[in-house]
Structure 1
Amino acid sequence: MVGESDARPQRLIITEMVLENFKSYAGEQRVGPFHKCFSSVVGPNGSGKSNVIDAMLFVFGKRAKQLRLNKVSELIHNSAGRQGIEHAQVSVHFQEIIDTNDDEFEVVPGTNFVVSRTAHRSNKSDYFIDGRRSNFTEVTELLKGKGIDLDNNRFLILQGEVEQISMMKPKAQTEHETGLLEYLEDIIGTNRFIEPLADSAKRLETLGEARAGLVARLKIAEREREALEADKLAAEAWLDKEREACAAQRLLSHVLAHQAQMNVDKIQGNQASLEGKLAYEREKLGQYSAVLEEHEARYDAACKEHAGMAAALERANEEFKEYERKDIAYREELKHLKAKLAKTAERERRDAARLESTEAEAAAAEAEVPALLEAAAKLGAQLTREEARLEAALEGMAGEGETLRAKLRAARAELAPWEARGVAARAKRAEAASERELVRAMRDGASSALEAARDELEEALGRAAREREAAAELEAGAGGLRDRVSTAQRAVREAEQEAQRAERAAPSRGIYGRLGDLGAVDTRYDVAVSSAAPALDHWVVDSTATAQRCVELLRSRGLGVATFLILDRQAGLAAAAGAPPPATPESAPRLYDLVRCGDERMRPAFFFALRDTLVAADLDQAARIAYGPDPRWRRVVTLAGEVINEAGTLSGGGGRPKGGRIALGTAAPRAGAASSGQDAAAELAGAEKELGEAEGVSSRAAEALSRAEAELTAARAALASSESALPRARLDAEAAAARARDLRAALPGLERAVAERSGDEAALRRLDAAVAAADKELEEIARAGAGAAAEAARLERELEGLGGEPVRRLRGALAALQAEIEGKEGAAAKRTAAGAAARKLAAKLRPELERVRGEAEALRAKQEATKNEFKALDEAALEVLKGRNAAEAALAERAADLADLRAGFEAKNREVGVIRRVEQDILAEMEVQRVAAKDEAGKRRLWAARAAAADAEMAEKWGEAPAAPTPEELAAASTEDLQYRTTLLREEMERMSIDLTAIEAWRAKDAEYGVRAAELESATAQRDEVRRAHEDLRKQRLDGFMAGFNAVSLKLKEMYQMITLGGDAELELVDSLDPFSEGILFSVRPPKKSWKNIANLSGGEKTLSSLSLVFALHHYKPTPLYVMDEIDAALDFKNVSIVGHYIKERTKNAQFVIISLRNNMFELADRLVGIYKTDNATKSVAIDPGAFVVGATGPAPAVARPVLAA
Structure 2
Amino acid sequence: MYITKIILDGFKSYATRTEITDFDSSFNAITGLNGSGKSNILDSICFVLGITNLSHVRANNLQELIYKSGQAGIERATVSIVFDNSNQSQSPVGYESSREITITRQVYKQQGKNRYLINGTVVPSNKVKDFFGSVSLNVNNPHFLIMQGRVTKVLNMKPPEILSMLEEATGTRMYEDKKRDTQRTIEKKDAKLEQIDTVLREDLEPQMQKLAEERQAFVKYNTVCRQLDQLQKVHTAYQYVRTEKKLDSLNKESNQLLQNIEDYKLKIEELKADIERAKVEAAEMEKTQDQECGAKLSGLEEALKSVELSHAKCESDLKHIREQIQGEEKVLKENEKITRDAETQIKAKRAAIEKINSTVGGTLREKEEAEKALELAEKHLEALAMGMTTNEQGVAATVTEQLRQAEVESASCADDIRALNHAIQHLEGRLKATQKELTTTENHFKKDSNEINDKEKIVKKLQDRINALHFDRDRLDELDCEKQSLAPKLLELRKNVDNFDARNQNLVFNYSDPYPGFDRKKVIGPVCQLFKVRDPKWDRAIEAAAGGKLYHVIVDSDETAKDLLKNGRLQRRVTIIALNKVRGSFVDDQTIRSAKQLVGDENIHKTVDLIEYDKRYETCMKYVFGKTLVAASLDIAEKAAYDRRVNTKTLSICGSTCDPSGMLSGGSVAPGPSVLEKLQKRREDVEQLSQLQQRYDGIVTALKQMEGEADTYNKIHQELMVRTNEWEQCKARLANTKHAQLSKEVESSKAELEEKKVTLKAKTETKTSADARIKELQLRMKNTEGQQDKEKKEAEASLKKYEKIVKAATQKCGAEERRLQELQGDIDVLTKEIEEAQQSISACNEVVVELKKQYEAQEKKLSGIKEGRDKAKSMLEAHKSKMKAQSSEIGSRYKEIDRKQKQIDAKKLEIQQTEHDVKEKRKESSDVDHRLRRMASEHPWISKDRAHFGEPNTDYDFSRTDPNEVSKKVAELSSQKEKMSKTVNARAHTQANNLESQYKDLTKKRAQVEKDRESIMNVMRELDMKKEDTIRGAYDKVNKDFGDIFTSLLEGASAKLVPPAGKTLLDGLEVKVSFGGVWKESLSELSGGQRSLVALSLILALLLFRPAPIYILDEVDAALDLAHTQNIGLMIKNHFKSSQFIIVSLKDGLFSNANVLFRTKFVDGKSTVERFVSKSS
TM-score between the two structures when normalised by the length of structure 2: 0.35
TM-score between the two structures when normalised by the length of structure 1: 0.34
